Amino acid sequence: MNPKRMKHIIRDELGTLRREQMINGETYAELLELYPIQSWDYSALGRWFLIFGSIAFAAGLFILGSELFEFTMMELAISLGLLIGGCFFIGWRLRSSKLTWAKRSFELLGSLCIVGLTFTLGIIYSTGSGNWPSLLLIDMLILLPLAYALRNVLILILSMIIFFTWFGGVTGYVSGWGAYWFGMNYPMRFLMAGLLMIGMSLLHRSAEQNTLRTYDGFFKVWLSGGVFFSEMALWLMSLFGNFGSIFERYLETANELFLFNALWTGFNIAILKFGSKFGLRMLRGYAITFLVIQGYTLYFWQIASHLGPIFATFLAGAVTLGLVLHLESRRRAVKVSP
């Protein structure tokens, strides 16, 4: 067997042992260092090319069809329905083959077409209410069970994206669109939703060790979505407070901004420790990335303007180079250690 493939298998098994709490976090980290994967993962690159290529192919077919034919909305709905059936049929035919990611990609295309179909039907049968978030709720109620029925993590990721859009859209709709959802106005609501998703992911992780064993790893999608929601909300609140609109007069106080910055720092330290304890590199990546973002944000927001543009840029560049050299030296030290 290919040595790199063997390392992947061993690391996957170690991850399973850690999730089942058969080894502690320190032992898990030590064992991972014995099986490093330093070379470029071409298989992962191939999977992403397959996913994006499939989406681009579908988009190209749509553009080509719109150029060659004049579709009415009803004809478009029928075409999307046929495309949905075709994508899921191909996915079903590939169920017993080794082309797992091809199967998932076709199922993802079918799911995207479902979203297109609901909006097309929404236009056809519109009552003039403008309540487009309700269409996303329908999509989410269809795609979330479908992700579990097909055991397709890509559809689960799409469901998380739809949830983000629906959640912001429906809260904006209820408020009369006084402040548009994409600006994440009043981001405290996104923080609460993110923390709820994190809690759900931890319950999911526990269930994956028993009743949901066949969905091993699905909890990472819930966890990533919740952490991303929370990080973005805390980032905005550290700058503007729990604002109504970033384009109007700011109402935040120094104490409020200090509180949200401290909360953001504490949140990242907490997920960094949790990620290190349970061997979740994704959480460590989130924590380190957003701690760096917070540092640069505070620097350019509060300090750089007092230093002048030339010196402020030089200092930021020097710190960045120093950080890169430090991390590279640590990586090389781990690589050459016995």
In the chain, the percentage of residues whose pLDDT exceeds 70 is 73
Give the Cα separation of 96 and 8 in Å (integer): 23
User: pLDDT digit string (tens) for 10-59?
Assistant: 777 777 776 666 776 677 777 777 766 655 444 555 555 666 666 677 67
Least reliable range by pLDDT among 47-61, 173-187, 229-243: 173-187
Give the Cα separation of 140 and 147 in Å (integer): 10
Q: Which amino acid is located at 26 in the chain?
A: E
What confidence score (pLDDT) does residue 226 get?
94
> Highest mean pLDDT: which of 70-79, 141-150, 200-209, 310-319?
141-150
Q: Which two tokens stand for residue 113?
A: 């077409």
What confidence score (pLDDT) does residue 15 get?
72
* 211 burial type by CB count under 10 A (0-12 exposed, 13-18 middle, 19+ buried): exposed
> What is this structure's pTM?
0.71
Give the Cα separation of 188 and 112 in Å (integer): 30
Q: Tokens 């999977």: give the residue.
A: 47
Give the Cα separation of 262 and 182 in Å (integer): 25
SS3 string, the chain, reads: CCHHHHHHHHHHHHHHHHHCCCCCHHHHHHHHHCCCCCCCCHHHHHHHHHHHHHHHHHHHHHHHHHHHCCCCHHHHHHHHHHHHHHHHHHHHHCCCCCCHHHHHHHHHHHHHHHHHHHHHHHHHCCCCCCCCHHHHHHHHHHHHHHHHHHCCHHHHHHHHHHHHHHHHHHHHHHCCCCCCHHHCCCCHHHHHHHHHHHHHHHHHHHHCCCCCHHHCCCHHHHHHHHHHHHHHHHHHHHHHCCCCCCCCCCCCCHHHHHHHHHHHHHHHHHHHHHHHHHCCHHHHHHHHHHHHHHHHHHHHHHHHHHHCHHHHHHHHHHHHHHHHHHHHHHHHHHHHCC
Q: Tell me what the mean pLDDT of segment 74-83 comes to.
A: 88
Q: Tell me what the mean pLDDT of segment 231-237 comes to.
A: 89
Q: Which amino acid is located at 54 in the chain?
A: S
Give the Cα separation of 328 and 16 in Å (integer): 29
In the chain, the percentage of residues whose pLDDT exceeds 90 is 26
> Highest mean pLDDT: which of 2-11, 32-41, 81-90?
81-90
What confidence score (pLDDT) does residue 168 get?
81
Give the Cα separation of 154 and 111 in Å (integer): 10
User: pLDDT digit string (tens) for 245-267?
Assistant: 554 545 557 788 888 999 999 99
Give the Cα separation of 181 and 176 in Å (integer): 11
| Res. 62: pLDDT tops 90 | no
For residues 242 and 250, the answer to whether their CB atoms sit within 8 Å is no
What confidence score (pLDDT) does residue 45 get?
52
User: pLDDT digit string (tens) for 200-213?
Assistant: 999 998 888 888 88
